[in-house]
Amino acid sequence: MAAPKYTEGKYLSTGGKNGAFDTLVCASMGEPNDTVTESSASSQNSLSETRLRLEAIEKERDQLIEDLARSEAKQKEYSTIIDHDKERAVAELESARLGFNQRLQEALEEKFALESKLVLAKEDAVELALQVEKLAEIEFEKVTSHILEDAQLRISAAETSAAEAVHQVEDRIRKVTEETITSIVSESKDTLNKALTTAEQLGSRAKKALADLSGGLNLMDEIAFVRSQNSGLQNVVNDLKSQLLLTKNEVEKLKTALLQGQEQVRASELRATEAERALIDFQESARKRSIKREEEINSLLDKVKKEAGDREKTAAKAFKAELEGIMAAVEAAKVTAQLKDQANLRRCEALQRSLRTSESALEVWKQRAEMAESMLQNKRIPGEGDEGVDYVISGGRIDLLTDDDALKWKLLADGPRREIPVWMARRIRTICPKFPPRKTNIDEALSVKSKSLKLPKLEEVWSIAQEKPKETDVLIEHVIEKEVIEKKRKALERALQRRTIKWKRTPEEIKLEPGTGTGREIVFQGFHWESCRRKWYQELAPKAADLSQSGMTAVWLPPPTQSVAPQGYMPSDLYNLNSAYGTEDELKQCIDEMHTQDLLRFLYPQALGDVVLNHRCAQKQSPNGVWNIFGGKLAWGPEAIVRDDPNFQGRGNPSTGDIFHAAPNIDHSQEFVRRDIKGWLNWLRNDIGFDGWRLDFVRGFSGGYVKEYIEASNPAFAIGEYWDSLTYEGGNMSYNQDAHRQRIVNWINATGGTSSAFDVTTKGKPTGVMGWWPSRAVTFLENHDTGSTQGHWPFPRDKLAQGYAYILTHPGTPTVFYDHFYDFGLRDTIVELIEARSRAGIHCRSTIKIFHANNEGYVAKIDESLVMKLGYFEWNPAKENNLDGTWQKFVDRGADYQLWMRH
């Protein structure tokens, strides 16, 4: 019987050492019996070598069986991992369900608490209205009774004074008249008596003369004597007449005085009548005022009732909105749980697919092992079915090698690929899967002509994090999806945390006032003058965690708007946020990173936007060649520019501040300008994510407009840059800078206190605004204008530590400059001072007591918890008589500064 013949097939051996055996087998199966007899001698010589090859194949089969066992062990390990992941997923779902139920219960409890508070607030409002009404009635009665009593007293005093004056005048007239009449009567009596006496004497002498005449005396002498006596008597009579005339004159004078007295009495009566009339008028006006006051009180009560009703409606709306927010949070929690469930399901499906792949690979290995075993036992010989098949086993995966080299390179290289973003690489590193195996080298694949059954080693298995993934990769899509879910989860947790934890904080920490925030802000200026030369948002975002840990509570970001100057202070299209610092998406990601790190640990995360409202650069020229036509979404014209701008031919109203000569000055008195600016600020708040404002060049327009913008956009914090020149004498800065800080305080007053302002005066000469209005003073040592590469007004480099020790331990809101924190090596010093400020509980309204201030140094106590010293002189709180308590040294920087905390 002739031996069967087999067609020679194309087969790739396991190695070059088995080539002789393969040749022998192929030859023995394709040659006649007589050829075998002729080659028996050579077969005898190669028999020993063939046995050696068989032993090697046996060892390889053992190795293959061992690998198969490892594969089965890995399969079991994968099964264990899948079971563990399933259990963990179930546990996470259960914990999520419990957490959701707990949060729902807390939300319901909070709802009931809010309802009870609302009821109490209603009762308090009604009681307050009643109290106000009662107090108003009491105060009205008090005021009216006081006014009436005062008027009656004044009228009584006027009547009494008038009566006293009349009585005095009448008494005086009576006394003068009586005295005059008495003197006239007495003088008249004396004169008459003298005349009678003289007449009697003359009569007696006449009788005597007649007797003598009759007795023969000289009659002519007697007549002469009588005549002389008559002339004397005539003189006496004349004197009496003159005295009577004088008396008449005195009487006339007395009559005149009496008439004057009567006129004064009539005037007093008129005054009394006028006072009575005034009293009647006053009573009438008081009655009218009381009626008006009563109407005002009634209107006030109506207003209070209306406001109470409005507050009740507002509280109801707020409660409804809060409830809707809670429901939205609950829905978000449900969506998050569903997404997490879907992700877990996808993960389980991926693991199951991986398990099925490993099972199929195990089947392939089993088949290959059976094929090798059958080959060794001559159970299967390669035949015609293997013709034309080229394949290479590489690292446990079979890659078909096509004849198209371009397709090979596309399948194996598929590059170049883009760089991985930092955030994506960070998320990918948290996964670090162990599949797929190492990529096939194309050169090795083309050069190898035999198939290998050797599995790769564990250290050769590469990680997906070391490659550059493509956007279409399934794994990257899972990573992005996981990132989205994680962001939603963190946002939900922050929302729930703010709704539940904020009620546990102290009133001082949660009280948010316009212009001051919580009063415990520490602002970090997150850029300098040269930041526009780099992709700054991408560079600043990774520092959010470090800033949060350092104690910063708000970050002042650079101007976000497209600008003619790269630094951002010459804005053009306000709604275009693709600036020299980065794109709009990068800005949003930077702000999100700040919020994710809970930058403001007290309650309100803050990212402050640097907004330029005073001026704006035009994008087009007018027909006469002036750049005063604005473009973009806010397409204004010359009517939006103040008319006294000397360079841009504005047609608006005159400016309400100073002129900025480099760009068109905006007319904020125009209604459409204010409306557009309010819309832009609200867009920055709601869509971009800013929490507050740093207002540039605010001395260019009225602070009243700033008040309107702040009330419309409702920022958590606002700072105005009111920077003008200080006072100098003989080239040196004056000690008294009250006029300078008064101008800043006037601007803050113009805003209604809704905005703080940079304390430029304190940078020049302590104390500035900090000494007059500390809650609105934002202190600083340097910024991008005064320091950085501009160096307009740099703080002495060797005194920076003392400067920060001063502003970080004093009231006001301190600002830390980027260069000092990251470039000047002051990070640890500033963090230590912030820790001292936090421990001492210092805020923008803290009190100060200064113990020592001269050329030697400075000592002050802030509140009742911290004492700080600047300078080299010796001082210790234990030796100070005015310091109570026990003080422990917290920071000792030698001659620079020292801090003590109350123990």
Q: Which is nearest to 604 in space by CA: 477, 724, 511? A: 511
Question: Where is 141: in which H helix or E strand?
Answer: helix 40-215
User: Cα(532)–Cα(878) distance, rounded to whole angstroms?
Assistant: 51
Alpha-carbon distance of 780 to 277, in angstroms, equals: 67
Q: What secondary structure letter does DSSP report for 518? A: T
Identify the burial level of 675 via C-beta atoms within 10 angstroms of its C-beta, where 0-12 means exposed, 13-18 middle and 19 or more buried. Answer: exposed
Q: What is the dihedral of CA 617, 623, 625, 627, to 10 degrees?
A: 0
As beta bridge partners, residue 652 has: none
Radius of gyration, CA atoms only, the chain = 55
Tokens of 761: 């005066």
Catalytic residue among 573, 696, 708, 819: 696
Distance CA 882, CA 174 (A): 76
Cα(771)–Cα(860) distance, rounded to whole angstroms? 14
Sign, CA dihedral 417-418-422-428, equals negative
Cα 765–chain centre separation? 27
Q: What are the tokens at 299?
A: 């209107």
Residue 239 corresponds to which tokens in the numbers above? 């004197």
Q: What are phi and psi of 833, to 5 degrees?
A: -70, -35
Is position 269 annotated as part of the catalytic site?
no
What would the two tokens of residue 845 be? 């309204």
- DSSP H/E element including 233: helix 219-376
Residue owning tokens 């006394």: 175
Please, what is the Cα angle at 59 between 372 and 462, to 5 degrees?
A: 80
Q: Is the peptide bond before 767 cis (omega within 30 degrees of 0)?
A: yes
DSSP assignment of 32-53, as one string?
A: -HHHHHHTHHHHHHHHHHHHHH
Contact 523, 815 (CB under 8 A): yes
Using CA atoms, how far residue 757 sits from 553, 685, 696, in Å, is 18, 21, 11
* Selection from 337, 454, 358, 340 nearest residue 81 by Cα: 358
Q: Which of 492, 468, 484 is nearest to 343 (CA)?
A: 484
Question: Do 698 and 722 form a contact (C-beta atoms < 8 A)?
Answer: yes
Active site residue 312: no
* Residues whose CB falls within 8 Å of the CB of residue 382, separated by 6 or more in sequence, listed in order: 9, 11
- The residue length of the chain stands at 903
Catalytic residue among 721, 759, 782, 832: 721
Residue with tokens 């036992």: 377
Per-position b or e across 517-526, b if 16+ CB within 10 A of its CB: bbbbbbbbbb
Residues that are catalytic: 696, 721
